[in-house]
Amino acid sequence: MARLFQQTLIIVSVLVLGCLGCKKEDVKTENQTELVSLVSGLLFAEGPAYYNGNLFFSDIEASKIYKWSETAGVSLFRQNSGRANGLYFNSKGNLYVCEGGNKRIVAIDANQNVTVITDSYGDKPYNEPNDIWVSPTGNVYFTDPVFTGTLTQDGQNVYCVLASTGKVIKVISDLVKPNGIIGNSAGSMLYVADFGASKIYQYSITSNGSLENKLLFADIQADGLTIDNDGNVYTASKEVMKYSTKGVFLESYPVTGTITNLCFVNTTKKLFITTHTQLFIKELSSTF
């Protein structure tokens, strides 16, 4: 069994590294005008996050973070990433990372210096930090469910690290299994996917970072979430699902494989999508 697992890892590594430096036209896709596969052969891709022309994404099972750009293709950004999952850039270009295996949140600067943002709440380690969003004011919101790790907190909660003090507050404690999380560009609304209850909730963000006015936004199971400047929310469900600011379903688009997360780039109207094994890109300026 161990030898078979080792052989499998070698095959997967060859597939991933085989895409290093690939040009867009070199990648085989079902429909070049609609959905393009950028990277394949991954073990469990997650957390796409875009900054300054580069798309970063994690491979949980490989414990790596990759970087992709249209000009350079894919390259390894960080190894031994602590089973990094959700990623998000703040306005200064620092990459915030949910290190699920290390039970902590870290920030990585342009020189790859790592700063631990938080690794415990109430003198207990987190369960398995999963997904993350940084508000325009610098508050860091993240979900802390249990999927493969162990329950080390009093529940599966959502937390916020306040930018003003560094204090961690628990902002949601009544969800079954919180997963994807995203806020709007104004920093006034937060959306959280309760994967365990197959629902997405919307919250108002107060001036002190806490949440209020919980509303059911969509009655659907979702992993990751993303949002555009118009406030439309996109969900990583069985298909990519698009909802208006009022939670009205607008459109959907099928993706091959199990969709794990997404990242909408407002400047280019492109949607990056991760599945277990691939990273896709979709142009949204046409039909979606």
Tokens coding 220: 């659907």
160 and 140 in contact (C-beta within 8 Å)? yes
Q: What is the distance between the alpha carbons of residues 196 and 221, in angstroms, rounded to a whole number? A: 8
Residue 180 in domain? yes
Bigger pLDDT: 155 vs 30: 155
Residue 175 in domain? yes
Residue 40 in domain? yes
Mean pLDDT of 2-27: 39
Residue 20 in domain? no
Backbone phi, psi, residue 249, to 5°: -65, 130
pLDDT tens readout for residues 165-190: 999 999 999 999 999 999 999 999 99
- Going by C-alpha positions, the residue among 224, 217, 218 that lies closest to residue 262 is 224
Query: In this structure, are strands 270-275 and 124-125 parallel, antiparallel, or unpaired?
Result: unpaired
pLDDT at 3 over 70: no
Terminal alpha carbon distance of the chain? 45
Percent pLDDT > 90 in the chain is 84
| CB atoms closer than 10 angstroms to residue 217 | 22
Residue 156 in domain? yes
Give me the domain span that covers residue 197. Answer: 26-283
| CATH number for the domain harbouring residue 173 | 2.120.10.30
Residue 15 in domain? no
DSSP 3-state of 10:
helix
pLDDT tens readout for residues 117-147: 999 999 999 999 999 999 999 999 999 999 9
Task: Write down the H helix ranges in the chain.
Answer: 2-17
| CB atoms closer than 10 angstroms to residue 89 | 19
Predicted structure pTM score: 0.88
Residue 177 in domain? yes
> In total, how many domains does the chain have?
1
